[in-house]
Amino acid sequence: MELTGKQRSALKSLAHKLDTIFQIGKHGITPELTEGIDNALEARELIKISVLENCAEEPAEAAEILGERTRSVVVQVIGRKIILFRQSKKMPKIKI
């Protein structure tokens, strides 16, 4: 799924007030972390992730990997924060 500029901008503004719910640390992107993010995307659709300094992957690289593994769209990578979006299959909340 590709986002238009307006869609991406709208999602960024929604994500601005979100708290970080996952952190990627020295263990990197584990299967358990990927599963947790996948479940969170189904429940929330839009999530914010923090990449800690001791993580082996760079934030942009981690975002790309997570986007592929969870079939989600990387809305933005800013500093060490990643914003991911995937519309819920069961109960979509965010209309784009």
Q: Look at residue 87 in the predicted model and tell me its pLDDT.
A: 92
d(CA 87, CA 73): 9
Q: Look at residue 91 in the predicted model and tell me its pLDDT.
A: 81
Domain boundaries, given as residue ranges, for the chain: 5-85
State the 10-residue block means of pLDDT for the chain, 96 residues long. 89 94 95 96 96 94 96 96 93 81
d(CA 29, CA 38): 12
Q: CA torsion angle for 78, 39, 42, 52 (degrees, to 10)?
A: -10
Are 73 and 67 a contacting pair, CB within 8 Å?
A: yes
Q: Look at residue 1 in the predicted model and tell me its pLDDT.
A: 74
Architecture of domain 5-85: 2-Layer Sandwich (3.30)
